[in-house]
Structure 1
């Protein structure tokens, strides 16, 4: 087995993120005891789950002698924001290639560059953090292909680029959540939390896959339920399994059982980043009961899934559920019309 402390790593957060009980929300829903893991409070600009992944990815980039980062995502990508922030901390150049969102009912929002029409949310932060370039492409563009083209161009100019995949979700990035699983188990023991289930947003799969592998390596059988933010269960679960398997191989761990992977696809609505009534209700409920802001793309939809699972009787009053807040709140301010 490869020990995590043997893998190169940077540090962007001072200590573990908080694990907090949500007593008012739990009482409001009348179901299990709900706790929240505050990964919205991770380091780098405005925090979020990608920071854990970047600690390993940036260390790998630096070990390879990189002077430039290239990454991809949506126009409101939390991952792009945090990659750019890490680049600023490390003194690296950073280029972003992003695609516009879909509009209502899956329609395009307009020509490349038209979304967002104003500098809002994460897109504003790309500018404030001084991205070396931001290329906006139409929805469905080959982002990774464009990233490789840019990397070749920069190499020809004498630069040493390092390309990070969408969401930082590869075996190196997933190590951030292998480590988080151990952190959480220590917090559970310290707080006397007998967790029956962990519920997390599931998008590019790095967070969920890392948690599954980390719990498996620690001998824990706590299930991790992913609430998909962009795909059906049939489409998402093979992606999670693939990253679980490749991360376990990277760490030279025994294979992880297939039934450790669950990605529920009933709550993403008509597409990635498109609002749903359940998301709006969940964001309002968390804010009203606990003073906690969720984002509309990831945690809002995951919380909507959690609320529905509670209301449908998936959990009893004897259960304890830990919800992971993956951050992304800047995106809330780019999608205010969903709450109008």
Structure 2
């Protein structure tokens, strides 16, 4: 099917319009001239509703659309204290007239006790979001089962409190990884392909930063449904091995769920798995810890084309793309789109998160 037919199928689902779509798609002229590769950006960081946004707004439109249909009044979500997802869901809830609540963790051994509001945490404060803080061991609490359970128990207790008062509550997992939202990035894909074609460009690769596995399933589902020849490359900021909290089999299952939801043919698992190419070499020391490659990528893109990446997600993803270009994994004269998923609010975080971006 073509992109228009896919869009019509998605349009049947509950949705609360919050962002400004289609998001921009443009060429990086100076970086392209430097490397002999045509670089393009798909600007999910400009989705809205505020000036600091990202790819989770797509998910929120579908998750909150169903939530409103179900009479939900409060939305509880979770993440690390600097979460992009949490901030974007809070903003989306404000736009939709729902009450956001966040449960956020902080690795105090690495980042210290909370003494000031910065980055996304400051934006949550400005939006007057109800925020609960839990100190944890390690940068990503989801890597430790007992830490995961502690956060889940705290959210469940708050949900029960609110429901006892007559409210209806929806809990959205880390990163917006809720079944209602995965279909959102099928629209990102069709937009991007149509925008490229309108510019006379046929994309060879789409690169993105892979974290909580919420963007890739929709991208793959849309590619399979439309028969596109583009190839995906995912640069991970957390482990994607079998048995990890996030892994390839989970992505396969999410792709199948999207295809089933839209009434499309579901191929064999191996056919979906063949679309997944995850590079874990750019995680760095840990989640939310700056890497030298990521810091260099932030500076290079800002100097070349005046575009800012964020240190936790997008810088590490773009660093992987640049490495693939330099080492020949991306061939000269290729047309490559990078999905800019946001994260710029974290440029204003503490040095232990941002690194020496100022040189």
Q: One fold, TM greater than 0.5?
A: yes
Q: State the 1:149 CA deviation.
A: 2.5
Alignment of 1:118-267 (within 5 A): 118-139=116-137, 140=141, 141-142=147-148, 143-232=151-240, 235=244, 236-256=247-267, 257=271, 258-267=273-282
1:321 aligns with 2:336: yes
Deviates more, 1:138-147 or 1:166-175: 138-147
C-alpha distance in structure 1 between counterparts of 2:23 and 2:75, whole Å: 26
Checking the alignment, whether the CA contact within 8 Å between 2:313 and 2:343 is kept in structure 1 is yes
Is 2:318 the counterpart of 1:310? Answer: no
Give the Cα–Cα distance (whole angstroms) in 1 for the partners of residues 238 and 160 of structure 2.
Answer: 31
Aligned pair partner of 2:78 in 32, 52, 72:
72
- Do the aligned partners of residues 189 and 96 (structure 1) sit closer, same or farther apart at CA in structure 2, a change above 3 Å counting? same
The more displaced of 292-301 and 169-178 is: 169-178
Q: Does the CA-based 8 Å contact 1:232-1:266 persist in structure 2?
A: no
Deviation at 1:194, TM superposition (A): 1.1
Deviation at 1:232, TM superposition (A): 4.4
> In the TM superposition, what is the alpha-carbon distance from 1:34 to its structure 2 partner?
0.8
Give the match's secondary structure for 1:174: coil
1:154, 1:137 → 2: CA distance? 24
Decide which moves more: 83-92 or 3-12: 83-92
C-alpha separation between the residues in 2 aligned to 1:21 and 1:171?
33
How does 1:98-109 map onto structure 2 within 5 Å? Answer: 98-101=104-107, 108-109=110-111
SS of 2:182 mapped into structure 1: helix
Distance 2:294 2:322 in 1: 10
Conserved? CA contact 2:37–2:334, under 8 Å? yes
Q: Which runs of 4+ in 1 moved over 6 A?
A: none
**Mind listing any 5+ residue stretches in structure 1 that lack a counterpart?**
none
Q: More deviation in 119-128 or 88-97? A: 88-97
Structure 2 stretches of 5 or more lacking a match?
Answer: 1-5, 142-146
Separation in 2 of the partners of 1:99 and 1:241? 29
Which piece of structure 1 moves more, 172-181 or 135-144? 135-144
Cα contact 2:103–2:132 (8 A) shared by 1: yes
Cα-to-partner distance string for 1:232-260 (whole Å, 9 max, x where unaligned): 45543233223222222222322252201
Aligned 8 A contact 1:10 1:59 in 2? yes
Deviation at 1:211, TM superposition (A): 0.8
Measure, in 2, the Cα distance between the counterparts of 1:233 and 1:287. Answer: 33
Pairwise CA distance, 1:65: 0.3
Give the stretch that moved more between structures: 292-301 or 214-223: 214-223
2:302 is matched with which residue?
Answer: 287
- Per the TM alignment, residue 171 of structure 1 is displaced from its structure 2 partner at its CA by 2.9
Q: How many residue pairs get matched?
A: 331
Q: Which moved more, 1:239-248 or 1:117-126?
A: 239-248
Residue of structure 2 equivalent to 1:32:
37
Cα-Cα RMSD: 1.9
Contact 1:72 1:98 in 2 (8 A): yes
Structure 1: distance between partners of 2:326 and 2:240: 21
Distance 2:45 2:99 in 1: 25
Could you report, residue by residue, the CA deviation over 1:133-189 in whole angstroms, capped at 9, with x for unpaired residues? 333342432233432232122111221111111111233211110111111121122
Per-residue CA shift, 1:299-339, capped at 9, x if unaligned? 10000100111111011223111011101101111044511
Q: Is the 8 A contact 1:233 1:264 kept in 2?
A: no
2:47/2:57 contact within 8 Å kept: yes
Contact 1:73–1:80 under 8 Å retained in 2: yes
Tell me the TM-score normalised to structure 2 length: 0.87
Q: Secondary structure at the match of 2:250?
A: helix
